[in-house]
Amino acid sequence: MPVEVRKVVLESVSDASGLAALIDEGAFEADGVVAVVGKTEGNGGVNDFTRILADQAFRKVLMEKGTRPQDEVDAIPMVWSGGTDGILCPHATIFANVEGDGEASDEPRLAVGYAMSDVILPEDIGRPAMVAKVAEGVHRAMRAAGIEDPADVHYVQTKTPLLVMDTINDAKSRGHTVYTEDPLESMNVSNGTSGLGIAVALGEIEMPTAEQIGHDLSLYSSVASCSSGVELDRAQTVVVGNVRGAGGRYRIGHDVMNDALDVEGVYRAIRSAGLDLPECARADDLNGKLVNVFVKCEADPTSRLRGRRQVALDDSDVHHHRHIKAAVGGVVACAINDPAAFVSVAAIHQGPSGGGPVAAIVDLG
């Protein structure tokens, strides 16, 4: 079925009125919603409850306006990334299946697939066992999307568990060790391990050794966008790519930002999605055809940006995640003339070190 993609702003932490309005307007049916990827206004940390509030609000609308039972609505993948530092705007991108209008062309069009991995144990996080479990989940999500060629995959969004004191102690009680006993650091580790799992699944890299995870930054996926939290115990995976004959108006592409100032990386991703842009593009050239961009970023571990010294990694008052998210959010928002852009941190093994992947969805009409 063709996929409809729309972006809505969250006017408060538990606002789902934008979703409700789209359903009421007939953009898609509540029962057609297959995935949601969004930004919430919390601290982006382990204890960010705004993700849960947004999740509850969106699922409530789908229950009220649809016919699916509670367990089916609960199973819909909703990936919420906390933290809208700087000028970023809380928002959600909604993916929904819709009925096609006649015969679909053979042009590549957007397709979405979803899968859950096997349970990821606390002792798996940051280790090859988690890489393998994530990779297997990506393969199943590709099949669900009807995507056979890894080259047709342009965006893989995962949500995985991280470590908290309860799960750390659980692993210890069973005679196991964990990668780290710092819950916040485990967010980086979980995200990075997921990124490697995606890279393995798509043939971007070979299976990494335990010693390479979190350390060999030359290993990464160009399409991975990984998030983690306390909400689940396995990898929730959404694969977005293009399938010939899928129908619909939308297409996705990707590229990478090589560093925090690489605005051209955003435009390269948009061109990859099929939108013609001049060589020196600017926001006015998008002509309302861009649905959204999805960006991962990370403070450069060398503490240098284009040769200039950076101090975010030395800041004891504000975590470097918040520095870089606000900075890259400003660059991306300027590029597309819209602060409602998906910009997420903890990007180790996701795009080049100090940069990150960019996926772009465009409306080709």
Which residues form the catalytic set?
159, 227
Yes or no: say if 242 and 153 are a contact pair by the CB < 8 Å rule. no
Which DSSP state fits 340? -
Tokens of 118: 């096997």
- Measured distance CA(186)–CA(83) in Å, rounded: 17
- Measured distance CA(227)–CA(194) in Å, rounded: 9
Amino acid at 135: A
Amino acid at 133: K
Yes or no: say if 240 and 108 are a contact pair by the CB < 8 Å rule. no
Phi/psi at 92 (nearest 5 deg)?
-140, 140
Within 8 A by CB and 6+ apart from 134, the residues are 117, 158, 160, 193, 194, 196, 197, 198, 201, 235, 237
- Measured distance CA(237)–CA(114) in Å, rounded: 6
Which DSSP state fits 196? H
For the sheet with 234-244, list strands across it.
108-119, 234-244, 153-161, 224-229
- Measured distance CA(193)–CA(213) in Å, rounded: 7
